[in-house]
């Protein structure tokens, strides 16, 4: 039995909801078994750093609120943000997303084209004036009056400003839109810029190349539940997801603290899962929850460092696509977090969003607090040091 199953079994909040109309509605609306939906909602509650008592409000918001209209623009990017959202599984995140929101304009997914799709965008904006969510994927070229990206005869700058004018919330998804990302790499011939730069005001940012779809979903669910976006840092990033350095929650952290490093790809240390700092891992200067919520819903280890590659700092302005991949990271914190296993102890393999969420709910802690899970500890470190 996983930690979250245990919590669902014992929690009075969960019991209240087990037979509730909201969960029956979730089963009908999303085609997901009630218990799976409950697990998913509990994990989202925990990942957002909310108390377990918020579960009911989150379930109600996800099942009963009117789906907000979303206008999704795409400019200088690779469509990875959209792809990562749609490729998610368990319990079919794409289905949850597409059932939670009314995606009224999206260039990749729209069946219509040309004048028809432009008309759909205008109708959605007029009908939902002041209420729709604008999501922007991709950087925006500002050089030479923005002529390097035009859609329907308008520059990306014009489209962005037009769509942002009457939006209730504006979200930059991916590093390109959040801070310029890959298209803004020097010498940046098109003047690729962030959404906030174009609008001249702060926006919510969900950086990552691609960003983790759960961070987008949690932000939307927070908006649906409370009518406002979650608490943000100075760069517009939701604190629940970007409040901690990767290095603080990495399953290889104890190897770092003990001075056990992979020095070359394929050497002894690398094969034994030791710290990737000397291969250029940017976890020590990158803020994101990758080791905690992982990617692709396929279990522990499914994140860059977990697969044996150093973090390149894809979420972080000034690091990803800027610093050479194998240059050494700046160490922002040196003292090991108190909740982390000591160097001589077993090393964890990373927590999935569901198990981490359960532990966080059980412990009354947000995933952002850096929870490590006893039931995910597995990899023994009784190996010898590399030469």
* Residues between 306 and 345 that touch ligand SF4 (CB under 6 A): 311
Q: Which does 175 bind (CB under 5 to 8 A by kind): ligand FSX, ligand F3S, ligand SF4, none?
A: ligand FSX
Residue 284 binds ligand SF4, judged by CB under 6 A: yes
Residues that bind ligand FSX (CB under 6 A): 77-81, 137-138, 174-177, 181-182, 209-210
Indicate whether 275 belongs to the interface with ligand SF4 (CB under 6 A): yes
Nearest to 289 by CA among 235, 356, 192, 342: 356
Residue 79 near which of ligand FSX, ligand SF4, ligand F3S, none (CB within 5-8 Å, type-dependent): ligand FSX
Q: How far is the CB of 259 from ligand FSX (least distance, A)?
A: 34
Tell me if 142 contacts ligand SF4 by CB under 6 A. no
Which of 250, 288, 312, 373 binds ligand SF4 (CB under 6 A)? It is: 250
Using CB under 6 A as the criterion, what x/- string covers residues 216-245 for binding ligand SF4? ------------------------------
Residue 117, classed as helix, strand or coil, is helix
Element (H, E) at 290: helix 290-293
| Neighbouring C-beta atoms of residue 218, cutoff 10 Å | 29
Cα separation of 184 and 149, whole Å? 14
Using rule CB under 6 A, residue 106 touches ligand SF4: no
Give the Å distances, CA to CA, from 130 to 62, 70, 71, 125.
21, 12, 12, 8
Q: Report the distance separating Cα 162 and Cα 179, nearest Å.
A: 20
Closest by CA to 163, choosing from 198, 213, 190, 212, is 198
What's the number of CA atoms in the CB half-sphere (13 Å) around residue 235? 21
User: Contacting ligand SF4 (CB under 6 A), which of 39, 106, 121, 253?
Assistant: 253
Measured from the CB of residue 298, what is the shortest distance to ligand SF4 in angstroms? Answer: 20
Closer residue to ligand F3S (CB): 68 or 238: 238
């Amino acid at each position: 039995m996983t930690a979250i199953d245990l919590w669902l079994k014992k929690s009075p909040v969960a019991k209240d909801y087990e037979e509730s109309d909201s969960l029956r509605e979730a089963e009908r609306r999303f085609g997901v078994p009630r218990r799976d939906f409950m697990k998913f909602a509990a994990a989202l509650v925990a990942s957002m750093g909310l108390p377990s008592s918020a579960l009911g409000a989150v379930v109600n918001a996800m099942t009963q609120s009117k789906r907000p209209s979303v206008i999704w623009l795409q400019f200088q990017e690779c469509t990875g943000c959209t792809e990562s959202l749609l490729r998610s599984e368990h319990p079919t995140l794409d289905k949850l997303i597409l059932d939670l929101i009314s995606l009224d304009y999206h260039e990749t997914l729209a069946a219509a084209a040309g004048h028809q799709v432009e008309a759909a965008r205008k109708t959605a904006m007029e009908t939902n004036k002041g209420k729709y969510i604008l999501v922007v994927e991709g950087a925006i070229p500002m050089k030479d009056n923005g002529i390097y990206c035009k859609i329907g005869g308008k520059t990306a700058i014009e489209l962005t400003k037009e769509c942002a004018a009457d939006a209730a919330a504006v979200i930059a998804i991916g590093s390109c839109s959040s801070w310029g990302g890959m298209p803004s790499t020097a010498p940046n011939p098109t003047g690729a810029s962030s959404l906030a730069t174009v609008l001249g005001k702060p926006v919510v940012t969900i950086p990552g190349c691609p960003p983790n779809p759960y961070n987008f979903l949690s932000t939307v669910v927070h908006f649906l539940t409370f009518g406002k976006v979650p608490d943000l840092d100075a760069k517009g990033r939701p604190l629940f997801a970007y409040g901690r350095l990767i290095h603080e929650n990495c399953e290889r952290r104890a190897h770092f603290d003990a001075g056990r490093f992979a020095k070359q790809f394929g050497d002894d240390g690398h094969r034994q899962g030791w710290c990737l700092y000397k291969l250029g891992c940017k976890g020590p200067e990158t803020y994101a929850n990758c080791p905690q919520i992982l990617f692709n819903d396929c279990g522990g280890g499914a994140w860059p460092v977990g697969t044996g590659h150093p973090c390149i700092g894809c979420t972080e302005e000034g690091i990803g696509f800027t610093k050479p991949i194998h240059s050494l990271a700046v160490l922002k914190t040196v003292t090991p977090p108190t909740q982390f296993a000591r160097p001589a102890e077993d090393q964890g393999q990373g927590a999935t969003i569901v198990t981490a969420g359960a532990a966080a709910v059980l412990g009354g802690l947000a995933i952002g607090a850096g929870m490590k899970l006893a039931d995910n500890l597995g990899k023994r470190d009784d190996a010898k040091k590399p030469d």
